[in-house]
Amino acid sequence: MKVVVAGSSGLIGTALVAALRRDGHRVTRLVRRPAQARDEFRWDPVRADLDERALRDADAVVNLCGASIGRRRWNGSYKQELRDSRVVPTDVLASAVAAEGVPILVSASGVHYYGGDSGNRVVTESSPAGTGFLPSLCLDWEGATLPAAEAGARVVLLRSAVVLAKHGGMFSQLYPLYALGLGGRLGNGRQYLPWISLDDEIAALVFALTHESLSGPVNLAGPAPVTNAEFTRAVGRAMHRPTPLVVPAFALRAVLGEFAQEGILHGPRAIPTKLEEAGFEFQHPTVGAALAATLGRN
């Protein structure tokens, strides 16, 4: 396959490009700086500027664009940046997919689509959207793929959980604290923390590209979801460190504001129904196995 990847410089994009090339696929990367290699094309999604040659003869486009949700405290301007960094590039790519007749668009989204108020209720791809900023963001993000779907492309919406990686993403930020024995649960710890290993995230993404039976929303989450308290204990066991601390909810809200409430103190109990029904097999089906793989990386 010839696969065009937008957002190829991040944690997921870098690993995906390497995996696709190992499997013998041809990869073209869309970059926002001047192109420096034969496999690169410069684009400017804000100006809807995309060289039509980039998608020529492409079999699929993968869209991984989006600013980090937890990089800093939310305010009006940052929430707009989060929206613009997702919706605008997705709209540009979906329109280009439609115009060029590319048959597949695989586009990032998140399990925050479901909100965090489901409690112990299991949520699948057929569950409705939640309420709040993050579900609204995911709705608009996914909705921006509509031009591609209307043109007949197979569109896969990747509702990804927290990706466990030692050198990128949320876990890499927590790792130093756990290493010092300063890990602990957040709030009451009963909220769910959907997770997936980096290996399974990439394998599931490639699976979505190559399996025609998959379309629409697909949960990229480990099959055995855990609460924040369970996750904390699992990290402690994996790192052989105590996890005695508790960060009160009010302290998280004071420091992180709205993000604490939506992104940390609440989380859906999401399971990967469509992936498993399509025959995908997880390399790391439990959080313990995922953490062992994560910590075993150099």
**Structure confidence at residue 298 (pLDDT):** 41
Give the span between the Cα atoms of 160 and 157, in whole angstroms.
Answer: 9
Q: What is the 3-state secondary structure (H, E, C) of the chain?
A: CEEEEECCCCHHHHHHHHHHHHCCCEEEEEECCCCCCCCEEEEEHHHCEECHHHHCCCCEEEECCCCCCCCCCCCHHHHHHHHHHHHHHHHHHHHHHHHHCCCEEEEEEEHHHHCCCCCCCEECCCCCCCCCHHHHHHHHHHHCCHHHHHCCCEEEEEEECEEECCCCHHHHHHHHHHHCCCCEEECCCCCEECEEEHHHHHHHHHHHHHCCCCCEEEEECCCCCEEHHHHHHHHHHHHCCCCCEEECHHHHHHHHCHHHHHHHCCCCEECCHHHHHCCCCCCCCCHHHHHHHHHCCC
Torsion of CA 90, 91, 93, 99, to 10 degrees: 160
Name the domain count of the chain. Answer: 1
**Structure confidence at residue 297 (pLDDT):** 58
**Structure confidence at residue 51 (pLDDT):** 85
**Structural domain of residue 136, as residue ranges?**
2-295
Give the span between the Cα atoms of 209 and 217, in whole angstroms.
Answer: 13
Going by C-beta distance under 8 Å and a sequence separation of 6 or more, which residues neighbour residue 137? 82, 83, 86, 112
Which pTM does this prediction carry?
Answer: 0.94
Q: pLDDT averaged over consecutive 10-residue blocks of the chain (298 residues)?
A: 95 96 96 90 93 92 94 91 97 97 98 85 95 96 98 98 89 86 91 96 98 97 96 94 91 90 92 97 97 82
Q: How far is CA 69 from CA 28, 74, 169, 261, 264, in A?
A: 26, 9, 10, 13, 11
CATH classification at residue 260:
3.40.50.720
